[in-house]
Structure 1
Amino acid sequence: MDKIRLLGDFLRERREAVSPRQVGLLNSGPRRSPGLRREEVAMLAGVSTDFYARLEEGRERHPSGRVLDALIRVLALGPDASRHLYDLAQRCPVRYGGSTERVSPGLITLIRSWPTTPALVCGRFLDVLATNQSGAVLYDGLDYRDNLLRMVFLDPAARTFYLDWERLARARVAWLRLAAAADLEHPYLTELVGELALKSQEFRKLWACRDADDLTCTPQGIRHSMVGELDVTGTTYDVGQAPGQRLLLLQADPGSPSEESLAFLSGLDTSP
């Protein structure tokens, strides 16, 4: 049996060993099998349900280090199990920023209580640490969902997903610059910036600038494959109990067609 098949079996076994309550998923309804559902692991790890399903089924052979670290966090893997996961994925362990950040179960419960408001909890370097069902459905179809910068600059689909891609890209870079100011030598920051600069000419240009945008409230236009164009505003809040973490909410004007579309999306099932 090859390592890819063993990787899928390992993930499935560990997923079934984690109770919903352990990750803050309360009132999650009846279950046909123990542990977490695939879509719940995907949501908490910041990847698409389809991508995670491919991992378990042995159809995805190149999970990134960030994805592996997100799974380590969600599945509460200890050091030995984490090393085993990396070995099965045939990658060398790297200490990523996301692996050391934890989202409180209370905050996860809170964002899940907003059924029609997409919500994400981001780490200091824009790693997506947690999202709710509405957020998972909104971003479903984008491959790079583990980090907001990688989503914007490395996913070709982001160019059509965001109606004003250039403005959002500037805002994301400004967010990273502010977060990085206190720790410019952080190994994870160096690696992230290096990856983005190598793969994206637009990121290199924006990173070289010193513009600073107001990140607390950013209008966004989104073109979703199922409901068309959405007018939403992204508002960020500092997470007081976890310095460096930020809560990002995407909201539409009350009574607007965009609000109705978000309500429709929130009722969709992203499970395979």
Structure 2
Amino acid sequence: MTRTCLRRDELAAFLRSRRARLRPAEVGLPDGVRRRTPGLRRQEVAQLAGMSVDYYIRIEQGRGPHPSRQVLSALARALLLSRDEREYLFRVAGESPPPAAGPSRELTPGLRYLIDAMTETPAYLVDAAYDVLAWNRLATYFVGDLASVPATDRNMIRWMFRRPAEDSHWTDPDLIRFVRTSVADLRAAYGRYPGDRAVQQLVTELLGTSPRFAQLWAEHDVAERRPIVKRVPHPELGPLEFECRVLHVPETDQKMIAYVPEPGSPTQAVFRRLAERVAP
């Protein structure tokens, strides 16, 4: 882990501000004791973090030794820091933030509403391991009706490499480019979440079942997904052409994938007719 400059004054101010915003009830302490100032007392933070009061006071006053990573993790838990706040705490303390435990699979209401509101655009949401978390009506024409698929099997990369080796899709340059970038993006997630069992199991499974995946994985390409133009000979809708736009959701490390046709194009007309057909 990389250690950089400890900014004592900023660390002290940040800890004081996070301590002041918390109510005792939020951390399981009685709320009835009269307090001269809002927030937790220093001794309460020290107790919650499992350290001596004197040691915590010296940190909050900008004195004392360089806090260890264990101390910073304990303070982050005691002060109920968000992921962004936890990262900031480590950085001002001169430490690189610890890796996240695993990809977020939480579906926020706002993203659910946004996907549903895209009535003329196929769209779906995936986590960093490409598990599909949500989709709209038009997306079912491309990813299927996932409501009937077990949640553990809603993975785009697994679907890609289940195609037989003789499948004609493997001769499509656009598909090959899409697959390569997806594998490179999965490797980036593999590096970000070294302790996540689901990501590790997916990679292990595909290494054992798909020689094509094993070949691409061995190339060690690492890159986040970028937009590409896709040409799809859809069995029901006919030939389609659209930009596969990838919208990153920073707070959850998720991606919204939307199929965006050129305005006035035949594909846009198909999507509009389809939207009318599936409208509730």
Q: Same fold (TM over 0.5)?
A: yes
Partners of 1:188 and 1:225 in 2: how far apart? 33
Contact 1:161 1:223 in 2 (8 A): no
| Match of residue 112, structure 1, among 96, 110, 116 | 116
Report the aligned-residue RMSD.
3.1
Q: Does 1:148 align with 2:156?
A: yes
**Structure 1 residues 101 and 181, CA, compared in 2 at 3 Å: closer, same or farther?**
same
| TM-score (normalised: structure 1) | 0.56
SS of the counterpart of 2:264?
coil
Q: Deviations over 1:137-189 (max 9, x none)?
A: 23338989711101211145985499432111101101111122122342111
Match of 1:260 in 2: 269
Q: How far 1:251 moved relative to its partner?
A: 0.6
Q: Is the partner of 1:253 in helix, strand or coil?
A: coil
**Identical positions, percent:** 27
Q: Paired residue for 2:179?
A: 169
TM-score by length of 2: 0.54
Q: How far apart, CA to CA, are the structure 1 residues paired with 2:250 and 2:194? A: 22
Q: How is 1:29-68 mapped onto 2 (pairs within 5 angstroms)?
A: none
One-letter amino acid of the structure 2 residue matched with residue 259 of structure 1: Q
Distance (whole Å) between structure 2 residues aligned to residue 161 and residue 114 of structure 1: 31
Cα gap change, 1:182/1:137 in structure 2, threshold over 3 Å: closer, same or farther?
Answer: same
RCO higher in 1 or 2 (8 Å CA, sep ≥ 6)?
A: 1
Q: Which amino acid aligns with 1:165?
A: L
Alignment of 1:18-29 (within 5 A): none
Contact 1:161/1:224 (<8 A) preserved: no
Q: 1:214 to 1:240 in 2, by over 3 A?
A: closer
Amino acid at match of 1:120: Y
Number of corresponding residues = 173
Structure 1 residue 201, shift from structure 2 partner: 1.1
Instruction: Determine which of 128, 131, 138 is the counterpart of 2:132.
Output: 128
C-alpha contact 1:116 1:134 (8 A) present in aligned 2: yes
C-alpha distance in structure 2 between counterparts of 1:148 and 1:105, whole Å: 23
The 8 Å contact of residues 120 and 249 in structure 1, kept in 2 or not, is answered as yes
Name the amino acid aligned to 2:159. M
CA distance in 1, matches of 2:217, 2:235: 30
Once residues 118 and 225 of structure 2 are traced to their aligned partners in structure 1, the CA distance between those partners, rounded to angstroms, is 22
Instruction: Give the counterpart of 2:234 among 217, 224, 229.
Output: 224
In structure 2, give the amino acid aligned to 1:197. Answer: L
Structure 1 stretches of 5 or more lacking a match? Answer: 1-96
Letter in 2 for 1:201: P
Q: How far has the Cα of 1:232 moved from its partner? A: 1.2
Return structure 1 stretches of 4+ with deviation > 6 angstroms: 141-145
Shift of 1:114: 0.9
The Cα shift of 1:269 comes to 4.4
Distance in 2 between the 1:175 and 1:269 partners?
33
Confirm or deny: 8 A CA contact 1:160 1:223 kept in the other structure: no
Aligned match of 1:236: 246
* Amino acid paired to 1:149: I
Secondary structure at 1:246's aligned position in 2? Answer: strand
Instruction: Tell whether 2:260 aligns with 1:251.
Output: yes
CA distance 1:231–1:102, shift in 2 (3 Å)? same
From the CA coordinates, give the structure whose radius of gyration is larger.
2
Partners of 2:279 and 2:187 lie apart in 1 by 34
SS in 1 for 2:157: helix
| 1:139/1:131 CA distance change after superposition, 3 Å | same
